[in-house]
Amino acid sequence: MDIRTVATQPYSDQKPGTSGLRKKVPVFQQPNYLENFIQSIFNSLEGYQGQTLVVGGDGRYYNRQAIQIILKMAAANGFGRTLVGKGGILSTPAASYVIRKNNAFGGIILSASHNPGGPHEDFGVKYNISNGGPAPEKVTDAIFANSKTIAEYHLLDAPDVELDQVGRFKLGEMVVEVFDSVSDYVELMQSLFDFDRIRQLLTGGQFRMCMDSLHAVTGPYAHALFEEVLGAPAGTVLNGVPLEDFGGGHPDPNLVYAHDLVEIMFGADAPDFGAASDGDGDRNMILGRNFFVTPSDSLAVLAANAKLVPGYKDGLAGIARSMPTSQAPDRVAARLGIECYETPTGWKFFGNLLDAGKATLCGEESFGTGSNHIREKDGLWAVVFWLNVLAVRQQSVEQIVKEHWQQFGRNYYSRHDYEAVDAERANKLIEGLRAKLPTLPGQKLGSYEVEYADDFSYTDPIDGSVSQKQGVRIGFTDGSRMVFRLSGTGTQGATLRLYLESYEPNIANHGLDPQVALGEMIQLADELAQIKTLTGMDKPTVIT
């Protein structure tokens, strides 16, 4: 076995964000850049010799080349077995399941999630631990520390592995198993949902659905699930072939970027149900005919209807949501008599709660929903969950959501994204807000009175770890609030996210456009943070 030890020098910019290391493809193509980061991952781990590593990605540009490098480095570093998705394709939810099912030591997922792909677009590398979830901060901190001192990496000199053929191969002393991850994932969904009932819904002739995979990783999974196993007509899945550049599109399932689906669902003779998923398959957007379901409402509706679904018929242990997510799930939890945990943004913060049996359903306003079946958010799982609820209740998406508002009240909610903001200006905005926090409680801002103002800090109830500076919150006495965060998922400049929420218990006032209902607060947020002045932008890049 010919193992090369290659001398290298550190790069200073390899600090993982909320979802691993994300950079432009040319950055990863720099000499030793990817190799440095992979070796830094291995250097930060203990006890993996002879163990199993899962490897795969969302099929974006550079996915195949990176997999070959990672396999040869895993062999050189002493892993005993690697499991690789056929064609290098492995959705993030499927990767989490494969790690758990095979008792793997961990996994390396190659994705930049909902960011664009292509030779000059985004690429990402994320390490998941043995529970199938993203590495916690103590692990990513160790990876970053290693990346700053790395002097060499190890690589096996060997031919590339045939990724398009299912089978077992040897790479030095390491076994490489190329497997079809789609069948495993379909079996997992069958264990949770009433496929017979969903099949009746989709084949009865009265109900039509449309699933847009945005030329991203869920295409093969969606074809297998909806058109083959559940019997939906051919053509139900749109843009179902994964492409290295996602067909030139932006694989982010929101009202702006999933425009083909939005036109269909808000057009003449629209289907009854529409859904989209993102680059790596962990996000979802849910639409009814001429009706958009916010991710926060989606989590709340699924929690309120969980007992209709076989996998959750015994009830929920608890609900967990990210801090910027609306408080709609909190109201469901209170009615059910269970806990609702508020965590920082990032799915890794849900892992301890799920492992400890404290939560069953989890969600983030950024179009991510999931449960304790794996340790990642899961876009197709959310779609099948909705189909199961629709099949049982025999109502439209709009009817189900509006009945939910009647029962629990409506949380008007919106997120305004200002993308590619100059990082220095974005930090100045956040620091300016932090400086104002002590003076805000008790102040009147327009028709609102400030009840609290803080920079969200989270103490993990399971391991006691503390995460600080997770978002500036300004809450008002009527339960409304605004939240300001800089996102860690972009690769260019900074993304400022503004979250706005107002609770409306009066059914007569449930029919407003959210931008109208939140209009005064939107203006107040701009005045308070000087958004237009500091970002140089007249309006958000994306409103969801």
Give tens-digit pLDDT for 272-316. Answer: 999 999 999 999 999 999 999 999 999 999 999 999 999 999 999
Residue length, the chain? 544
- So what's the pLDDT on residue 19? 81
**CA–CA dist 337, 246 (Å, integer):** 43
Q: Taking phi first (over 0 means left), then psi (-120 to 50 degrees means alpha), and beta for anything else, what does residue 521 get? A: alpha
CATH superfamily label, 3-179: Alpha-D-Glucose-1,6-Bisphosphate, subunit A, domain 3 (3.40.120.10)
Instruction: Return the CATH number of 184-408, one of 3.30.1280.10, 3.40.120.10, 3.40.640.10, 1.20.1440.230.
Output: 3.40.120.10
Q: Classify 482 as helix, strand or coil.
A: strand
Helix (H) or strand (E) holding 156: strand 152-156
> In three state form, how does the secondary structure of 241-287 look?
CCCCCHHHCCCCCCCCCCHHHHHHHCCCCCCCEEEEECCCCCEEEEE
Task: Name the DSSP class of 228.
Answer: I
pLDDT digits (tens, 9 = 90+) for 358-384: 999 999 998 999 999 999 999 999 999
Residue 409, sorted as left (phi over 0), alpha (psi -120 to 50) or beta, turns out to be left
pLDDT tens digits, one per residue of 447-489: 999 999 999 999 999 999 999 999 999 999 999 999 999 985 5
The pLDDT tens digits of the residues spanning 122-164 come to 999 999 999 999 998 889 999 999 999 999 999 999 999 999 9
The distance from CA 1 to its chain's CA centroid, rounded to whole angstroms, is 39
Query: For the chain, what are the domain ranges?
Result: 3-179, 184-408, 410-543
- The reported pLDDT for the residue numbered 492 is 65
Is residue 132 within 8 Å of residue 350, measured between CB atoms? no
Sheet strands (E) in 422-537: 444-445, 448-455, 458-459, 466-467, 472-476, 481-487, 494-504
Share of the chain above pLDDT 90, in %: 92
Residue 489: the pLDDT is: 54
Q: Each residue of 380-409: pLDDT tens digit?
A: 999 999 999 999 999 999 999 999 999 999
First to last CA, the chain: 53
Q: Tell me: the pLDDT tens digits for 333-361?
A: 999 999 999 999 888 899 999 999 999 99
Residue-level pLDDT at 256: 86
CA distances from 249 to 118, 244, 256, 292, 368 (A): 10, 11, 11, 21, 20
Look at residues 293, 290, 75 and name the one whose alpha carbon lies nearest to residue 169: 75
The upper half-sphere exposure of residue 370, i.e. CA atoms within 13 Å in the direction of its Cβ, equals 29
Measured CA to CA, the distance from residue 205 to residue 335 in angstroms comes to: 36
Chain mean pLDDT for the chain = 95
What is the amino acid identity at position 243?
A: L
d(CA 93, CA 369) in angstroms, rounded, equals 11
Q: Which two tokens stand for residue 425?
A: 């200006």
As a dihedral over the C-alpha atoms of residue 97, residue 100, residue 106, residue 109, rounded to 10 degrees, the angle is 0
Q: Measuring CA to CA, which residue among 372, 380, 382 is closest to residue 94?
A: 380
**Rounded to an integer, what distance in angstroms lies between the CA atom of residue 262 and that of residue 274?**
8
- Region for residue 519 given its phi and psi (left: phi exceeds 0; alpha: psi -120 to 50; beta: otherwise): alpha
Decide if 184-408 and 410-543 have a common fold: no
Q: Which CATH superfamily is domain 410-543 in?
A: Alpha-D-phosphohexomutase, C-terminal domain (3.30.310.50)
HSE-CB at 144 with a 13 A cutoff on CA atoms is 15
CA distance 474 to 445: 11
Are 485 and 497 a contacting pair, CB within 8 Å? Answer: yes
Q: Which residues are CB-neighbours of 314 under 8 A, at least 6 positions away?
A: none
Q: Give catalytic residue positions.
A: 113
- DSSP letter at 20 equals B
Each residue's pLDDT tens digit, 66-122: 999 999 999 999 999 999 999 999 999 999 999 999 999 999 999 998 899 999 999
- Tell me: pLDDT of 513 over 70: yes
Q: Which residues contact 21 (CB under 8 A, 6 or more apart)?
A: 14, 15, 37, 124, 125, 126
CA pair distance 430, 486, nearest whole angstrom: 8
Q: Per residue in 180-221, pLDDT tens?
A: 989 999 999 999 999 999 999 999 999 999 999 999 999 999
Backbone angles phi, psi at 17, to 5 degrees: -90, -155
Per DSSP (E only), the strands in 262-338 are: 273-277, 284-288, 291-293, 318-322
Quick: pLDDT tens for 228-280.
Answer: 999 999 999 999 999 999 999 999 998 889 999 999 999 999 999 999 999 99
Angle between helices 181-192 and 92-101 (to 10 degrees): 80
